[in-house]
Amino acid sequence: MRRFTVAIVFFFGTAVQQLQGQVVQRPLKVASCTEADSLLGPLGNDRRGVVRGFYSPEGDQTFLTAGSAAQSMGQGHYFSGTIRYFGAKPITAGDSLVWATAETSVAFFLRGRPGLQLQESGSPPPGGGFVADDSVVDVGSPQLGEYHGPPEMTVVPLNYPVPYRSLVQLAQANSIVLRLGDSRYKMSSDDRRNLRAMLRIALCTGAGEQ
């Protein structure tokens, strides 16, 4: 299993790292539209979701990430999500071609001694994965990251590639749990809201039109 080093709490991947010196991520407004409302219901409290991103004209790509480092302080674990796709405009729910080429993922971050133990194991425990409202979610093989720094500040990431249909399943769920061996990690209401907000932005506005 490929390892990668995370230098910041939230990340977009190699392509984003190459652009960080050129484009500054910015908070994005969460809007309502028919595409998203038909999947997720009325906007409601999702408008308070935390999503950052940008559009890169050079690569003609939109980058979105869900979550806030400040929001997760003091928690033993938290989740984030990312979407990267070509173009500046929103993606319609029925655009299977664009969604098939988009890179979508959900990342789990584990703090402290449990995080170090996960890192030392070299791979996630077998048989794990996401369960949304008691239904297993179809996700790709996770990639375990590494943390380098003071033990008291440990944050070890585990990144799951998630196809569009599974991202929608997660966004629609009222309860999301990640199973890692004998351990269970529940996604907080804030993290679930941020995930929904990220999908709403992808469907309603994108990052280039805000």
- pLDDT tens for each residue of 141-176: 999 998 888 888 889 999 999 999 999 999 999 999
Instruction: Using the predicted structure, report yes or no on whether residue 15 has a pLDDT greater than 80.
Output: no
* Distance (Å, whole) CA 103 – CA 161: 8
Is residue 198 a part of any domain in this protein? yes
Is residue 101 a part of any domain in this protein? yes
State the total domains in the chain.
1
Closest alpha carbon to 44 in 36, 56, 52: 36
Is residue 161 a part of any domain in this protein? yes
User: Chain-wide mean pLDDT for the chain?
Assistant: 86
* Distance (Å, whole) CA 41 – CA 210: 22
**Which residue segment(s) compose the domain that 159 sits in?**
4-204
pLDDT at residue 72, as a whole number: 73
Instruction: Using the predicted structure, report yes or no on whether residue 20 has a pLDDT greater than 90.
Output: no
Is residue 210 a part of any domain in this protein? no
Is residue 194 a part of any domain in this protein? yes
DSSP string, 100-124: HHSEEEEEEEEEHHHHHHHHHHSSP
- pLDDT tens for each residue of 57-116: 988 999 999 987 666 777 899 999 999 999 999 999 889 889 999 999 999 999 999 999
Instruction: Using the predicted structure, report yes or no on whether residue 14 has a pLDDT greater than 80.
Output: no
Is residue 46 a part of any domain in this protein? yes
